[in-house]
Amino acid sequence: MKKYASLIIAGLLVWNSVLTFEYLGIKNLLDSLEITGEIKTIREVVYEFNTNVTRIVSENISKVVGVSNYYQNRVSSTGSGAIYLVQEGKVFIITNNHVIDGASKVTVTFANGEEVEAQVVGADQFTDLALLSVTVDFSVVTFDLGDSSLVKTGETVLAIGSPLGFEFSGSVTMGIISGTNRIVPIDLDSDGVDDWDSIVLQTDAAINPGNSGGPLINLAGQLIGITSMKIADSNVEGMGFAIPVNEIIPIIEQLMANGKVIRPLLGVSAVSLEQMTAAQKSFYGIQLDLDDGIMIVKVQSSSPASKAGLKAKDVITHLDGTAVVSFKQFRKLLYEKAVGDEVEITYVRGSKTSTTSAILE
């Protein structure tokens, strides 16, 4: 029994020595610290936060530029742009027509802070697209192009741009595709009558003034659209729109080749019957029961319409067999044709319906 007691006592003495050693070590450490009332960091641990989204943003944010619209040597407005192509020493940038419209000078500000004066290669009012070119002495990277026909509702997307000016340049918002192939009517001349239908992607990613012309990208980092507009109404939230990349590229290719989009010309100005009252129809000698179609207001001299025998007050009811409902829809049908195409036009003059052909110029 005494043997076991001796072993226990010896163990306790060893343990006491260990504790004494640890105590003295801690005391020496504390004594070595200068007491200042501040918390001393003995070990620093760094956590790196990285996700697929942060990687995509870091890889693509330098491909986005700010666009400044100067009028009389002062910045009139700002927007965004997406680097599209580098060719023969020039950098080509896609933006919106309304971003550069009316500018006496346009500049582009890159992610590195460099501001360069840009040349407007071409612009198109109907699609609200513009192409800029600049020459720089540093390297830039272009966007990879996606396929907007493959975009699905519910797909996660990112919008990058400079909302409310360059103070917030490189702002990123995330959302989903709320709808594809949306049709948004556009009034180009602010006369209260829709002139064009834009085919757009709808997204709830926040789009604010200054985002216009910036990219909408998917989670593969591909450019799938150019942000263009939003519905600004106190009763509406999260309804932004982007021009799909598949609609963009044919327009941009024409702007690069011609400086403008070449569309076929018939040579008429017209008004939709749906806009006319019964009194107006009676005044122009149009049948009161004729509801669809467009009444020709003016025929350009020596135009395809003039050569086809069309006259003012004629009502066009069909183009190549398709019923004409409004002037906006007629313009869309016409612009789907090419210069040199022959089209068949059905029209009503007084009470007589006739058909003629015209070769578009």
Rg, the chain, Cα only: 33
For the purposes of burial, counting CB atoms within 10 Å of the CB of 263, is it exposed (0-12), middle (13-18) or buried (19 or more)?
middle
CB 261 within 8 A of CB 127: yes
Q: What is the DSSP string of 179-241?
A: EEEEEEEE-SSSSSS--EEEEEEEE-S---TT-TT-EEEETT-EEEEEEEEE---TT--S-EE
How far is Cα 105 from Cα 124, in angstroms, rounded to an integer?
Answer: 18
Catalytic, 292? Answer no
Phi, psi of 224 (to 5 degrees): -115, -10
Residue of 68, 169, 171, 212 marked catalytic: 212
Residue of 98, 133, 272, 326 marked catalytic: 98
Q: How far apart are the first and last CA of the chain?
A: 120
Catalytic, 198? Answer no
Q: Which two tokens stand for residue 320?
A: 């190549």
Residue of 77, 80, 128, 314 marked catalytic: 128
Phi, psi of 25 (to 5 degrees): -65, -45
Catalytic, 351? Answer no
How far is Cα 85 from Cα 292, in angstroms, rounded to an integer?
Answer: 45
Question: Which residues are marked as active site?
Answer: 98, 128, 212
